[in-house]
Structures are given as C-alpha cells and as structure tokens.
Structure 1
Amino acid sequence: MRIQLLPAQLINQIAAGEVVERPSSIVKELVENSFDAGANQIVIEIEQGGTRLIKIRDNGCGIDKDDLSLALSRHATSKIASLQDLEQVASMGFRGEALPSISSVARLTLISRIVNADCAWRVCADGSERDFNPQPDPHPQGTTVDVRDLFYNTPARRKFLKAEKTEFSHIETVVQRLALSRFNVGFSLIHNQKEILTLKPVLSDAEQEQRIAGICGSAFIDNAIKIDFESAGLRLNGWVGLPTFSRSQQDMQFFYVNGRLIRDKLVSHAIKQAYHDVLFHGRHSVFVLYLTLDCALVDVNAHPAKTEVRFREGRLVHDFLFSALHRSLANVRPGKTIESSIPITEFRFSPSSESTRIPSQPAYYAPRPSPQQASLPLSIAEQMQVYGQLQRSATEIEAQAEHLQSEPTHPPLGFALAHIHNIFILAETQTGIILVDAHAAHERVTYERLKQQYHEGTVPSQPLLLPIKLTVRAIEADLVEQCSEFFVSLGFELNRSGPDTIVLRSVPVLLGQNDVDSLIRDVLADLMTHGISQRIQQQSHQILSTIACHSSVRAHRRLTVAEMNALLRDMERTERSGQCNHGRPTWVELSAQDLDKFFLRGQ
C-alpha cells in the first residue's frame, strides 16, 4: 500500500487511545481545563458511570465564539505559543488533544460564554474537525462540555469498560484528588441525579484540613504533621502521616507538583527513604504534599495523561524532599511540637553526595521549644545507656529519682511507676498514663546514638578482657578480611585467624556485655545478604539496627525505677523515639478521660 494521510477523525481516535482510557480520564482532562480557565466552581454530572453522560460545567473565563472550532481541533491551544512557553508550562495542560480526541469517540457538545458577551455559543463535534456551526445559547459565563454515549462508535473499546459502580468509583477518586489540588475551588459531583460530593471553596488552614478529613478521613488529620519548607527555589508543604498511621496499600498518597497530581519514581524513592526504619514492614506511608518550583525546572509534557513529570535537577529535588520529611519525622517525639511555619533558611546541595543521604550541612527549621523538663543529670543518663553497668549505688539513684518526682514540673512521658511483666514500663503523666515497650524504646535510643556516632566516625570501642574465637564458614571468614575497615567503623576489632576462624577483640561500648557471638553472626549474615563494596555503606543503617537490637535491654529483664526513668528521659531527647527500628510503636498514652470512660465515671 502507498503511504497516505489518515482522516482527521481516525487520527483523533488513535490519540484517544492514549488520552481516553475510561470515563474518569475524560473527567480529569475537562476539570483541568476548568482550572486553567480560572473557574472557582465546577459541577460534574455523571450518568451510568460516565458511559451515558459526562457533563462538566464551570464559571471560568469561557471561550470566544471564533475560537470554538479551534478548541475542537488538534494541536490548537491558548496556553503556549513558542518554544520558550513549552519549556516552562504553567498550565494544567496544553497538548491540544483532549477535546478532539474525546469528540472522536463520543457525542460532544461544547457551550461557552465569555464576559460581557451577549450570549453563549454552542457547537457539536464528531472528531472530524469540520462542519462546525456555532449556535446561540443562554448559558451563563463559563463553559459546559457535554459528553454522551462514550465509545458508541468504537464498540471494541466499550467492552473493556467495567461495571457502572466501578467506573463511577474511578471518577469519584479522580474528583477527590483534583479537589485536594485546588482548595480555592468548589466542587459538586452528581451521579444519576443524586448529589454525591459537595465541597465549598476554602482558604484557611482549618478549612483545608476539613476538606482533607472529608476525603482522607478524620483519622489522617489526627495522625498527621503539617509541614512547610522552603529553600533553593523549592517549597514543600502539606501533611504527612505519622509512621504509626500507615496503610496496607498506597491508596492514600497524594503528591502534587505545581498543583498537578503526579506519580514519580524519584519522589517515591525520596519519601520511602525518609520513612526508612520508622515504618513497619509491608506498610505504606500516607501523605498529602505539595511541591512548588520554577516551571522551567520541571517538564510536564512527559506523558500524554500528564501523570508523570521530569525534573531538570532530579538530585536536588530528591535530597530536598528527603531532608524535609526526614527532619519532620525525626522531630516527632514526646514534648516536641513542630512549628510548620518556620522554613528551611539554607539548603546546601552537594552534587557528589549520595542520593539517600542528607545534603551536606543543611540548616533546618527549629521546633518550637518545649517547656523545661526535669531529667537525670547527664552523667547518670549516660551511664543508663549501658544497662547493668551503673557505677553509682542503687540507693543513690533511687534517691535522685524520688527527688525528681517531687518536683512540680512533669516531663512529657512522666515518671515510672512499675515494670509490668518485666516488659512494659508504666508511667504517670499530668494528663494520664503511658505504657512503654522497654526493649523497643531502648532499641531506638541505641540505634539513633549509633547512627550519629557512625556518621561522625566516632563509634567508641572497648577491648574485651578475653578475645572471643568464632568458627564460621570460609566465605564468612573471607568477608571479615575484605570488610575489616567497615567493622572498625562500627566499633569492632575482628580479625581472621584461620581458614574458618575469626577472633573478636573489641566491641562497641554501647553493646555492653550482651551476646556478641550471635551478634557477629547476624552482622555477617546481613553483609552476605546485602553484598560488599558500595552496598555496604548503603546498608550500614540496617547493620547498625542489628547491633542496636542486640544491645538493647531484653524483655523479662527487671528494671529499677531509676533505669526506667532514665529510659523515659532518653526517649524525650531521641529522634523518632515513637517507633522502634522495625517501625513498631514504642509507647502509647491513655488520658484521664480515656480511663474515665473505661469505668463509666461521670456517666
């Protein structure tokens, strides 16, 4: 066959294969057009899950009568006019394919009126891009797009649609996501003449949180941190869920770039790294986040459906996101309140830094100072870190603890009352009681201290009175030889003394007198799993977590009141102390009101 030009309608039907996946795709395209028109009120009417009717009405600027035919033609747009415009797109869409593509697979009617016009004008289209005949219409200022009988002329496509309920569920999800991107826009969603969703325009933070609670649930707002960071031309604001508030699916993750909902591998990796070692395995974080940056620094024309973007400075964006979220989660601890309005004042980006690490010497916002808290003297608190190695007498420590409890100021986690089943610490606060998993809490405290020492290159080591000889596999003995410097950086002096024998001469101070034999075997197993060379450095936190687990106070080990109070004070000073290294919660609180409800007091 000879090469020939395809008919306009067929070209648009081909384009529709990328733009119009299902009814929800049409809703997304048309609502985004309403955003670009400056509308602050959008009404979406749906019938039979969108297969019979999709009608979008807005109060935007409208389309001039002479431009209606162009609006229904391919590659015609008012949003760009030059290559410079293409490189810094500020609108939600500009490809000029949506309306002609939709009209090629459905019966489309476009009605629009501009300000000060005598009337509105109506045109119908079938994707052929010809025979437009505008007719007057009494429509108010704004635009209505009426899409009926989707895929009526392409029955093969129609067969791929799901049940009405399923298709409308997709539409409702799209509308909710769009509503989170524009708080200043009101939305009304109607299905089969029944109003499903009504959202008024909102401006204040409290009203925005009400909209989010209506879409994501009130539990999300109750368990979220509001953040606001700005540096190097980048701004990140929004809400991130606490690590203890997670989901089994990624269905509550909303990330917007310049008001556009996107899914991006770079963004996902940065957020995942920020939640590393505070999120329980198999769970997913929840967030509603907004990234704002110069339009010239992001390519929004990377995908026909506009769900993917490309950042021109990907490493900068990655490290900015990671640092902002990493610090936000780190500062969630007892007695600390995050001040979301204080931005990052400086953000230094090092091109040679690893993407999974914090940029060199960033200056983060400072949390609002908490009330002065009573705590054990530093020397005693330090000694408490290695339980069982206290240098002072038990009588003296108990006396200091009783003195602290007599002071009027109460620390956030209160004072210890008992060690329940030799596992849980029971503490009394000014507002209720606290239950702490001693092992999990001490594990986090030790882990954070080890991480700090490791990155500063100062993990203190103590020699063993008698070296420990271990018999291992030959491949593990080889690993000890290859990774000797890495073991030194962790605080171990470990040497090979035979084909299948290694000798341990020094251990980290924080490890104390714990079972170093099993610890060394676990560390070697970690190294065997993660590999050597550069992967060792990348997996160093996993190995430090293993050391911390072995170093922490064991369940059923009876703690004194002084030891329990020392641990509570350490938790108040430690970042991420709300979760252990595996993402499990370390403490829970019951208020006096909660206790009253248990016993029906006041009812």
Structure 2
Amino acid sequence: MSKIQLLDSRLANQIAAGEVVERPASVLKELLENALDAGAESVNVDVEQGGVKLLKVRDNGHGIERDDLPLALSRHATSKIRGLDDLEAIGTLGFRGEALAAISSVSRLTLASNVEGEAEGWQVQVEGRDMAPSVTPAGHPRGTTVTMRDLFFNTPARRRFLRTEKTEFNHLEEVFRRIALSEFNTAFRLTHNQKVIHQLPAGLDDTLRAGRVAKLCGKGFMEQAIPVEVERDGIRLHGWMGLPTFSRSQADLQYFYVNGRVIRDKVVNHAVRQAYADVLYHGRHPAYVLFLELDPAMVDVNVHPTKHEVRFREQRMVHGFLYSSLHRTIADVRPGQGVEPAVVYDDVPMPVSEPSQGSMSLTAPSGRPYTPPPASGGYGQGLRQADAYGALVQPRIEDGAPAVMPPASDDETVPPLGYAVAQLHGIFILAENQHGMVVVDMHAAHERITYERLKQSWSTDKVRSQPLLVPVSLAVSSREADFAEEQPEVFSRLGFVVERAGPETLVVREVPAMLRNSDSESMVRDVLSDLLAQGSSERIEQKLDELLSTMACHGSVRANRRLTVPEMNALLRDMEATERSGQCNHGRPTWTQMSLKDLDRLFMRGQ
C-alpha cells in the first residue's frame, strides 16, 4: 500500500476550514463579504446562541444560477477571478473560493438562491463522506440566503474551544460592525435570539452615514471626531479621526479600510501613531474610522488566509501620504474650529453640551466670522505680544481694582476663546465667550505655543551638522550597509554623514548639531531598522522634538505667575492661531468649555 494517499474531500475541507473558520464570527465575515460582492442593497443577519446553533445571512444581490449552485460549495470555485491578471488587481472582498466549502465541512449548511427573471429559486446542500451536492427547488426571491446550523457538530475537539454564548456573540457583533462601516450604501439588520440588535438604513447622504458611525462607534466618538477628506496622486483618504483628547485605554476603536476591506497593517499603524505622536497622552490610543482608496494593483491582499493583512507595493509613498494627511488634519484644528475638547477618563467622555448652532465656529451677532490673527514667526517672544492686542482688550483699572474685560457690544466680533476675566490661583485663566465660560491652563497652553514656534524656527533652517572629532564605526549587516550606501541622501537630510567602510561596516562622520551629545550609534541603527522595515523613519525628528519640547517647557510661563488681562488675552489670541493648541506637548488638554446650559444645570436654574 502506498504511503502517500489523497485525502478525501471532507477531511481536506476540514483542514482548510482551520484557516478560515475559527468561530461563528469568522463565518459571518465570509458570508457578509460574499453578499457585498454580489451587489446586495440589503443584508439581514439572524443569529441564535451566539451563532453556534444558527447563523443565517440573507441578501438581495444578483443571486446564483441553478447550474452554478453545486460548484459554489466546491473548493477553489469562484466567480471573482479568472486569471493571474485578476489576482494582481483584486477589486472584490472575496476571491479565494474556499469559504463556503470550508464552512459546509464543519456545519450543516444550506445555500438557497434565485436570479432576476426566474420564477422559482433553488437550494443546495452537501451530504455524505464525499460531500456530494444535492440541489432541490426552493421558494426564494432574488438574492441568496446562506443558513449555517450546528457549527463544529462533527469536530467536537474544535467545538470545545468555543467560548460562552455572550463572548461568541461579542466577536460576531464586532465583525458585523466592521463590515457595516465598510459599505454605507447597503442596509444591514442584525438579530440575536429573535431580538433586533442593529437596524441600519442605507447611508445615502452624509447625515445618514454619520448616524451609522454614531450608532456603531458611539455618539461620543462622532461628537469628538474630525472629518478627513484628502486626495492626492490618485490616492484618497476620507473618514473620521477622533480628537487627541478623545483617546482610549485600548486600541479598540480603530477601523481602517483599504478599498473597502478592513485591515491591520504595520505601515498604517505606524503612520497613524506618528500623526498623533505630538498630541496624544502617553499610554493612550487614538480612535478613528478611515477609508483609503487607491489602485488595486498597488495592494496585494493575497498575503493572509483571512485577508486581514495587506502588502503595499509602494510602502514609503503610502506611509508618507497617510502621515502627512492625518498630521495636517490634526494641526489645522484650532479653538473655535470643529468641536469642543472633551477629556476622556476610563473611555467615557465627559458630557459636553453643544452650542445651539452645533458648531464651535463662532460668529459675531452681526454675522461677521471671527478671523484669528496670523501666527507669529520665531520663538522666545513669550507673552511680549500683549501690546499687539491692547486695542482689543481695553482694560479698565479703577481704584487699583484688577482689569476686567467689558462685555462685547452687539457689533463686535467675539474670538472663539473669548476675553479673559480673571486668573485663578496663578494657574488657570477664566474667560468668557458667546457660549459661556472657558478655562485655560496657562502653562500648558503657552508650552504648546512656544513648542510650535521652536519647531517652525527649526524647520525653516537647514539641519546643521557637526563633524565628530572621532568618527564612530558601526558593525552592521550587509543589507543595512548596502542601503546606507545606496541612499546617503536619507541620512544627509537628517543631518548625518554616513559612509561605508567595508562589507559590513559603516562610519558616522557628522551628526545633527543639536544632538551632538546623544548616542549617535544607536540613532543610526534605529533609523536603519525603521527604513528597512517601514520605508521611512522619524527617529531623528522625534529626538529633535523631545529636545525642543523640553526647551519649550522650561521657557514657558510658570504657575503662580500673575498675568495682566492684556497678557492673558494675548495668550488666548496666540492659542487661536497656533496649531495643535488644544493639547500641550505631553498630550494633556489646554482648555475646556462650559456652556451656559452646563452652568444652568449645575445650579438647577430653570428647574
């Protein structure tokens, strides 16, 4: 008897199912992707006992012809690709042709379908050891219904690895959430044990789409989210990213889609992390729902059985596009633009009442919008610009009393952060704007202003290099040495002069002047590692930013320093003109707003 034998169909499919079907959530992912690929405008999902007993997905897509139904449950049978060219530019969510065969091998599966123009539908199921398909008539409208019962009934060892009904349903609901966020033009419905969990109409306009995100990600996220819309060089990025103050203790509210497919990718994660690096509090994670659209030929999605990972053919370009787009979006948020800051503790945002107009873009009673003063160049000016705002504040000093801002007249344009009223304990500035009271942490705010000016001043100058008295020799791999030799401009742009001295040796001759006291060997090694792994590196920029941040912290106004009203107003105006002024250099908020409704509620006025 031959030692090498062909596996029978059922055993082969069960082995393949180990890659595709881990739990009911895995089944739902494959079925929902098939429904969307079929052009469904409505998808209903019915679940019982967390999806273990029953999982039924019904769609109104274009359906499957009777003659194709037996093939639909065969391995490597698909209508989505025909040849190698299709595989290199995949435009559908599914393409491997393994899902239905794998699911049917570890459950009792029935597939019913009908196409446009046919009087009746047909259903197919597989039976016996050889999984022979059996096709019978079935009353069914246009579309497809896949019914899976008793998952892992014939593989008890795998069934024992399933968790409780609640845990399995939580995993399944998360998959439903990811898919529902990927296709706004399709209506979705999810029921569990005959109870409706989600009823999502098709998002045909921006309001309905934002409503779906709010339902699936929480109203707090949408209230604290910045819309993103960037298109450049044939690549488009759109969606929503949470404000830095709306952060999470875990990375559980991060949804990133590439051509409609939700993915986890190290290049993407690194670009997003770098975009938030300057404004996110340490140990916290950003929240976002972002969609990247690019030529399918630029993405290889055939790198993982579950299609959760992709590989970009131009990693450096994609990383640079994502980082610059998100970094610029965060930087463009000023007080008075977008939404109010709300600090999140234990992942629950503090309640913040919205203005009656639903926006923090303040407008004077006359209707003229407020335009913040331009950011001043250079650094070290501190609060010496108070005189520039003297005409705005017009303080009154009578009998030695502290200067107080007069109320704004009807025809006066009110700045977003309003006008200073008082200083509290030498730490906080209390100001009044159209919506109520503004509280500013003066040290944190001035620290950010000084830091941004330092960065601007540094970026306008060429990175100055300083020769080392004794060049540093590094033992590296031949791959790293080749890279350093082929792309010396990468290091020269960062202020380094690195030369190859042997097959596996590099010599560092010059370093950035500001980092002359740092460990140049470690920095070069880290930069090489980043460049080889991700196609880019921000190590040197991070070191420079850390140094500038320290300088800004020491050069900012300290607590318990008494400021005059003109100085306080000067600080408020600088905040309105400074990028990322909603957070200090360490990611802490610099200001918060209490509306008149909040104050009325606090004192039970009108109750």
- The TM-score with structure 1 as length reference comes to 0.80
**Among residues 385, 398, 402, which one is paired with 2:394 in the alignment?**
402
Provide the residue aligned with 1:386 in structure 2: 382
Are the structure 2 counterparts of residues 601 and 384 from structure 1 closer, same or farther at C-alpha, using a change threshold of 3 Å? farther
Distance in 1 (alpha carbons) for counterparts of 2:134 and 2:173? 34
Alpha-carbon separation, structure 2, partners of 1:312 and 1:131: 41
Letter in 1 for 2:307: K
Q: 1:524 to 1:545 in 2, by over 3 A?
A: farther
Q: Report the counterpart of residue 579 of structure 2 in structure 1.
A: 575
Map residues 419-568 of structure 1 onto 2, 5 A cutoff. Answer: 419-457=423-461, 527=518, 531-533=522-524, 535-568=539-572
Q: Give 1:224 deviation, angstroms.
A: 0.5
What corresponds to 1:116 in structure 2?
117
- Give the whole-Å Cα distance in 1 for the aligned partners of 2:215 and 2:369: 37
Q: Which residue of the partner structure matches residue 192 of structure 1? A: 193
Counterpart-to-counterpart distance in 1, 2:289 and 2:130: 40
Give ranges in structure 1 of 5+ residues lacking alignment: 339-367, 461-477, 491-507, 509-519
Matched letter for residue 260 of structure 2: G
Judge which range, 43-52 or 435-444, deviates more.
Answer: 43-52
* Residue deviations 1:380-405 (CA, integer Å, cap 9, x gap): x9898335xx599x9x9867741796
Mapping 1:324-343, distance limit 5 Å: 324-336=325-337
Q: Deviations over 1:155-177 (max 9, x none)?
A: 11001000011101111111111
Partners of 1:197 and 1:304 in 2: how far apart?
Answer: 29
Which whole-Å deviations, capped at 9, do the CAs of 1:267-314 have from their partners, x for residues lacking one? Answer: 111111000110111111011111111111111111111111111111
Question: What residue in structure 2 maps to residue 238 of structure 1?
Answer: 239
Task: Find the counterpart in structure 1 of residue 7 from structure 2.
Answer: 6
Deviation at 1:529, TM superposition (A): 11
Aligned residue runs from structure 1 range 129-528, under 5 A: 130-336=131-337, 373=370, 385-387=381-383, 390=384, 401-402=393-394, 408-457=412-461, 527=518
Amino acid aligned to 2:207: A
- Measured after TM superposition, the shift of residue 118 of structure 1 is 2.3
Q: For residues 401-425 of structure 1, give each alpha carbon's deviation from its aligned partner in whole angstroms, at most 9, with x where no partner exists.
A: 4179677222211111211100001
Distance 2:133 2:562 in 1: 85
- What secondary structure sits across from 1:132 in the alignment? strand
How far, CA to CA, are the matches of 1:164 and 1:529 in structure 2? 55
- SS of corresponding position for 2:12: helix
Q: Does 1:29 align with 2:1?
A: no
Separation (CA, whole Å) in 1 of partners of 2:74 and 2:302: 19
Question: 1:458 and 1:428, CA in 2 relative to 1: closer, same or farther beyond 3 A?
Answer: farther
Partner SS, residue 584 of structure 1? coil
Higher alpha-carbon deviation: 129-138 or 270-279? 129-138
Native 8 Å contact 2:126 2:134 kept in 1: no
* Partner SS, residue 283 of structure 2: coil
Aligned twin of 2:509 = none
1:46 alignment partner AA: V
Q: What is the SS of the residue equivalent to 1:133?
A: strand
CA-CA distance at 1:538 after TM superposition: 4.2
Aligned to 1:108, the other structure's residue is in SS state: strand
Distance in 2 (CA, whole Å) between partners of 1:210 and 1:200 is: 10
Aligned CA distance change for structure 1 residues 268 and 374 (closer, same or farther; 3 Å): closer
Secondary structure, counterpart of 2:134 in structure 1: coil
Amino acid at match of 1:450: L
Match of 2:104 in 1: 103
Distance 2:151 2:375 in 1: 71
Q: CA deviation at 1:149?
A: 1.1
Cα distance in 2 for partners of 1:433, 1:294 equals: 49
Separation (CA, whole Å) in 2 of partners of 1:592 and 1:10: 68
> Between Structure 1 and Structure 2, how many residues are aligned?
517
Question: Offset at 1:596?
Answer: 2.1
Report the 3-state secondary structure (helix = DSSP H, G, I; strand = E; otherwise coil) of the residue aligned with 2:421: strand
Any conservation in 1 of the 2:362–2:370 contact (CA below 8 Å)?
Answer: no
Matched position secondary structure for 1:110: strand
Mark the CA change 1:168 to 1:567 in structure 2 (over 3 Å): closer, same or farther.
Answer: same
Mapped to 1, the partners of 2:426 and 2:19 lie a distance apart of 61
CA distance in 1: counterparts of 2:320 and 2:274, whole angstroms: 10
Superposition deviation, residue 14 in structure 1: 0.8
Compute the RMSD of aligned alpha carbons: 3.2
Q: Helix, strand or coil: the match of 1:171? A: helix
Which piece of structure 1 moves more, 195-204 or 262-271?
Answer: 195-204
- CA 1:158–1:562: 2 relative to 1, 3 Å: same
| Residues 384 and 566 in structure 1, CA contact (< 8 A), matched pair in contact too | no
Alignment-derived partner of residue 512 in structure 1? none
1:72 aligns with 2:73: yes
Structure 2 residues not aligned, in runs of 5+ = 340-360, 396-404, 473-490, 496-512, 528-538
Give how far 1:539 is off: 1.8
1:487-541 Cα offsets, whole Å, 9 max, x none, are xx99xxxxxxxxxxxxxxxxx9xxxxxxxxxxx9xx999x469944455444211
Does 1:602 find its partner at 2:603?
no
Q: 1:148 to 1:585 in 2, by over 3 A?
A: same
Q: 1:375 deviation in Å?
A: 7.5
Shift of 1:378: 9.0
Match of 1:55 in 2: 56
The whole-number CA distance in structure 2 between the counterparts of 1:136 and 1:307 is 37
Given that 1:9 and 1:126 are in contact with CA atoms closer than 8 Å, whether structure 2 keeps it comes out as no
**Alpha-carbon separation, structure 1, partners of 2:327 and 2:24:** 38
Describe the superposition over 1:147-205 as per-residue Cα deviations: whole angstroms up to 9, x where unpaired. 11111111110010000111011111111111111111111111122222211112111
Alpha-carbon distance between aligned partners in 2 of 1:255 and 1:12, rounded to the nearest angstrom: 31
Answer yes or no: is the 8 Å Cα contact 2:362–2:414 preserved in 1.
no
**Corresponding position of 2:483:** none
| CA distance in structure 1 between the partners assigned to 2:161 and 2:154 by the alignment | 14
Look up the SS of the partner of 1:272 in the other structure: helix
CA distance in 1, matches of 2:127, 2:244: 51
Q: Distance in 1 between matches of 2:195 and 2:421?
A: 57
Bigger Cα displacement from structure 2, 37-46 vs 538-547: 538-547
Partners of 2:129 and 2:143 in 1: CA distance = 25
Conserved 8 A contact 1:40-1:186: yes
- How many Å separate the matches in 1 of 2:446 and 2:128? 67
CA shift, 1:34, in A, is: 0.4
Alpha-carbon contact 1:13-1:105 (below 8 Å) kept: yes
1 CA distance for matches of 2:374 and 2:146? 71
C-alpha displacement at 1:597, in angstroms?
Answer: 2.1
**Mapped partners of 1:281, 1:599: distance in 2:** 35
Structure 1 vs Structure 2: percent identity of aligned residues? 56
The alpha carbon displacement at 1:227 in A equals 1.4
Cα deviation, residue 208, structure 1 = 0.8
Evaluate the alpha carbon distance shift between residue 309 and residue 399 of structure 1 in structure 2; reply closer, same or farther with a 3 A threshold. closer
- CA–CA distance in 2 between the matches of 1:328 and 1:377? 18
User: Partner of 1:306: helix, strand, or coil?
Assistant: coil
Q: CA deviation at 1:245?
A: 0.6
- The residue number in structure 2 matching 1:125 is 126
